[in-house]
A and B are shown apart, each in its own frame.
Chain A
Amino acid sequence: MKTLLYGLITGVLFGFLLQKGRVLRYDKQLGALRLLDLTIVKFMLSSVVVAMIGVYLLVDLGLAKLSVKSLLLGANILGGLLFGLGWGLLGYCPGTSVGALAEGRWDAVFGILGMLVGAGLYAEAFPYLKTTVLTWGNYGKLTLPQLLGVSPWVVIPLFAAGAVFLFRWLEKRGL
């Protein structure tokens, strides 16, 4: 019960910020994919940099554990390509589609219905995928610092600096 309440509160805060950042809209999502307006990239990278520092601090303090997903090259690449294709058509992400609906962009309803169908189809296809695509290029649970053989605190500042340079460049270009 407490877990469910945490989920709701976290969602309310996150949805509030997504809307205030104006990243829920189709025009913003397609704007990013068409490299016309990179508001979403600014939002996402800012979020990632803050979360990266905070979560690794928690891990170092023994207050949290990382939840690392397996690197499955076949599934990651094929799934990523399909996701990109679908995202370009839909113009909303799974999480932002409900937020877009909440701010009145009700074409998102059809996207949400489509996503429910897509998830159902995946469940049907899972037994087949499990013995094929999901076995291709399985490198197990792997993080970038592990792959490079360095401390996370080498990767984090470099990543953050890269983000700041990108932000400055985007602002100069008016993107």
Chain B
Amino acid sequence: MAQGKNGGWSPYLAGGLSGLVSVFSVWLAGKFLGASTTFAKTAGMLEGLAAPERVSRLEYFLKNTPQVDWQWMFVAGILVGALLAALSDRSFAWEPLPPMWRSRFGESRWPRWLAAFVGGTVAMFGARLADG
């Protein structure tokens, strides 16, 4: 297996194989890979716990029913697959701050948490708008 500096596989190999995975998914399940709709559906499920009436009135959630579907399981599977891969070559690391962030912004955790939260909010709004 082509080994990189960090013990990983060549990105060409891993990427090419992931392309094959998506071809088989389209073939066998008729499903194209995607992840962002799952965040919308999960948001709807969580909102539904607090205010079910409100969720049932929102047009967006009528079009995108908040429920566990193929893509939701796909995203859950990414978690499992990445965990298995990280454990298989001991690259799992419980890391509160990314090295590049730490070398630029220091050890304080709050700024990173805030940037990640705000970034996530903006990125997902954009992804939904662009229908990505």
Contact = CB atoms under 8 A, between A and B. Distances in A.
The secondary structure that dominates the A interface is: helix
A106 B123 contact: no
B78 A15 contact: yes
B72 A7 contact: yes
B107 interface: no
A117 interface: yes
Interface residues of B, number: 96
Interface residues of A, number: 106
A142 interface: no
Contact of B92 (A79, A92, A104): A104
Instruction: From B4, B6, B22, B131, name the one whose CB has the most chain A CB atoms within 10 angstroms.
Output: B22
A145 interface: no
Interface in A16-31: 16-27, 30-31
Contacts of A64: 26-27, 30
Given A39-B11, A72-B131, A50 B16 contact: yes
A22 B6 contact: yes
B70 A6 contact: yes
A82 interface: yes
15 contacts: A7-B77, A18-B82, A19-B8, A19-B85, A26-B98, A27-B100, A50-B19, A55-B23, A78-B129, A82-B126, A95-B75, A105-B95, A117-B124, A121-B125, A133-B129
Going nearest first, the 8 A-B pairs with the smallest beta carbon separation are: A11-B77, A114-B120, A86-B123, A79-B130, A15-B81, A89-B119, A82-B126, A50-B19
Interface of A: 3-27, 30-31, 39-40, 42-52, 54-55, 58, 63-65, 67, 69-70, 72, 75-76, 78-108, 110-127, 129-130, 133-134, 167
